[in-house]
Amino acid sequence: MSTENPKTKVSLIPAAVRPFKRVAIYCRVSTTHESQDESLDIQIQTLKQYVAFNSKWNLYDVYSDKDSGGNVARHGFQKMIFDCYENRIDIVLVKTISRFARDTVDLLETVSRLKGLGVEIIFHQENLRTSETDNDILISALSAIAQAESESTGEAIKWGLKRGFISGKSKLYSRKCFGYKHNEDGELIIDEEKAEVVRLIYDLYLSGLSIVLIIRELEKRNIKSPQGKDTWSKRAVQTVLTNEKYIGHVILDKTYTSDFPNNKQRRNSGEQDQFLMKDAHEAIIESKIFEKVQAEIEGRSNIEILNGKPKRKGTHYSSKKKKRD
């Protein structure tokens, strides 16, 4: 006897066809230099291949920038964010965290915004997915990558500059300053009209005038500042009076950049190597006059070093007192 129920009907309910994930590729390089173009192309091709290997992904678009990772107003980056808000993208694929953002706050804010839109970010090189990664891990990863890249890039730049300094071929040796100009070969030669102003400043200082009185005298004679302004700054006059270029010498690495993450520029007081090229170009000021001015500057200073610490002197220089003496 058959146990089948002729009235029973079974209908097949097919599995829902899950749509392909729409993937956006984002790539960035820091500059518009020609060598960076190749780097950008390599980033794009690598990520395109990664998308092609995933059968459940479709490439939606490629966004790119030639700009600093610290600039969140990057054109390609903002266009990608806009398309995420327009629900055109499911996944953003990036080579590495540092290509996406260099600032931790900006990174986490963007990740949070895109998560809220249901958009996942995949950092290919770190193998991190924002759908599976908490913020603490992202912060640690970003800090480590930023430090490593900053250190490696900084060391490469320093070595390149140092090699040019040692060989004497660095163009920084012929960098212009007030009183000089470049000839056709890019070498420093005297700009006689401005050199006369340099000589005047030295003469005025040795005659007893203070920086302020020198500025007044320059203004009275309608002499423009190095920036072409009617008024000279104290800094501009001090630079003229202390720049060894006026005796034909050049010193490089007067300042240096401190280590990551501060990256602050500091005055080099012997902490780092310096490079001196003597007789690099024709002098405007005689060495004995330059040395006399340096001694005068030190004598007029209201700061002295006692037991390795700076301390104000009991007396202060006065041009009026100088004239009375």
> Mind listing the pLDDT tens digit for each residue in 249-296?
887 767 655 554 445 566 766 667 777 788 888 999 999 999 999 999
> Residue 42: pLDDT above 90?
no
> Residue 84: pLDDT above 70?
yes
- Closest by Cα among 64, 71, 65 to 47: 64
> Residue 171: pLDDT above 60?
yes
Is the separation of the CB atoms in 267 and 254 below 8 Å? yes
| pLDDT at position 321 | 56
| pLDDT at position 92 | 95
User: Stretch 311-322: mean pLDDT, rounded?
Assistant: 57
Rg (CA), the chain: 32
pTM beyond 0.75: no
Q: For the domain 21-149, what is the CATH code?
A: 3.40.50.1390
> Residue 240: pLDDT above 90?
yes
- Angle between helices 234-242 and 192-206 in degrees, nearest 10: 90
As a whole number of angstroms, the distance between CA 89 and CA 71 comes to 22
> Residue 317: pLDDT above 50?
yes
Q: Share the mean pLDDT of the chain.
A: 79
- Comma-separated ranges of CATH 3.40.50.1390 domains in the chain: 21-149
As a whole number of angstroms, the distance between CA 56 and CA 203 comes to 80
Gap between the terminal Cα atoms of the chain: 137
Q: Which string of b and e fits 100-135 if b means at least 16 CB within 10 Å?
A: bbbebebbeebbeebeeeebbbbbbebebebeebee
**Continuous H helices in the chain:** 34-53, 75-85, 97-100, 104-116, 135-167, 192-206, 211-220, 234-242, 287-300, 319-324
Lowest pLDDT segment from 78-87, 199-208, 255-264, 277-286:
255-264
> Residue 65: pLDDT above 80?
yes
**Assigned token pair, 146:** 């930023």
Q: Reduce the DSSP state of residue 78 to 3 states and report it.
A: helix
Amino acid at 225: S
User: Stretch 33-44: mean pLDDT, rounded?
Assistant: 69
> Residue 38: pLDDT above 70?
no
- Comma-separated ranges of CATH 3.90.1750.20 domains in the chain: 171-324
Percent of the chain with pLDDT over 70: 67
Q: What share of the chain is helix, strand, coil (3-state, %, to 5)?
A: 45, 15, 40
Lowest pLDDT segment from 176-185, 203-212, 303-312:
303-312
Lowest pLDDT segment from 97-101, 233-237, 258-262:
258-262
Q: For the domain 171-324, what is the CATH code?
A: 3.90.1750.20
The pLDDT confidence band at residue 25, using thresholds 50, 70 and 90, is very high
Is the separation of the CB atoms in 63 and 24 below 8 Å? yes
| pLDDT at position 283 | 93
- Chain segment 107-156, per-residue pLDDT in tens: 778 888 998 999 999 988 878 888 876 666 666 666 666 556 556 555 55
| pLDDT at position 294 | 92
